[in-house]
Amino acid sequence: MAIQRTFSIIKPDATKRNLTGAVNAVIEKAGLRIVAQKRILMTRAQAETFYSVHAARPFFGELCDFMTSGPVVVQVLEGENAIATYRDVMGATNPANAAEGTIRKLFALSVGENTAHGSDAPETAAQEIAQFFAGNEIVG
């Protein structure tokens, strides 16, 4: 399996509870390397662009409110099969359904305030990374 990159966000519920390091420890223990990372306050426009695939969903407004409610940590993760590996490490969207030891089982508060984002495919990973990072900000 090839080395891949995926895009990750540590969401406001986690930064608020000072869990950035705890989430990063789970990421690194899973063998993923954090090759870019910055703490930002997402603008409304950035959140709406990022989640545009969900624009018609009933939770879209609430999701954009949440993602702009406090700092987030945007990251690029690198490793073997990184996209699927990180989805496994995060666990199910709803923490009630997430497996033991996953980020969402360990830390998420609800289906909305669920601590982490991870890309779902190579195309979305490339697009999401490009939304937040210039090439020279990623150091593998």
Which one of the listed residues 4, 102, 117, 125 is annotated catalytic?
A: 117
* Both tokens assigned to 130: 């490009």
Q: Which bin fits 18, alpha (ψ -120 to 50), beta or left (φ > 0)?
A: left
Does 117 participate in catalysis according to the annotation? Answer: yes
Q: Which amino acid is at 138?
A: I
Is 44 or 54 the residue whose CB approaches ligand ADP more closely? 54
- Our finding on whether 78 is near ligand ADP (CB under 6 A) is no
- Our finding on whether 63 is near ligand ADP (CB under 6 A) is yes
For ligand ADP, which residue of 93, 96, 101, 130 counts as binding (CB under 6 A)? Answer: 93
User: How far apart are the C-alpha atoms of 20 and 75, rounded to whole Å?
Assistant: 11
Q: Which amino acid is at 112?
A: G
User: How far apart are the C-alpha atoms of 35 and 136, rounded to whole Å?
Assistant: 11
As measured in angstroms, the least distance from the Cβ of 127 to ligand ADP is: 14
* Both tokens assigned to 103: 């980020």
Per-residue H/E/C for 9-74: EECHHHHHCCCHHHHHHHHHHCCCEEEEEEEECCCHHHHHHHCHHHCCCCCHHHHHHHHCCCCEEE
For ligand ADP, which residue of 43, 59, 80, 96 counts as binding (CB under 6 A)? Answer: 59
Binding mask 19-58 vs ligand ADP (x if CB under 6 A, - otherwise)? -----------------------------------x----
As measured in angstroms, the least distance from the Cβ of 135 to ligand ADP is: 25
Q: Stretches 18-26, 31-39, 69-77, 106-114: which one binds ligand ADP (CB under 6 A)?
A: 106-114
Interaction site with ligand ADP (CB under 6 A): 54, 59, 62-63, 93, 111-112, 114, 117, 120
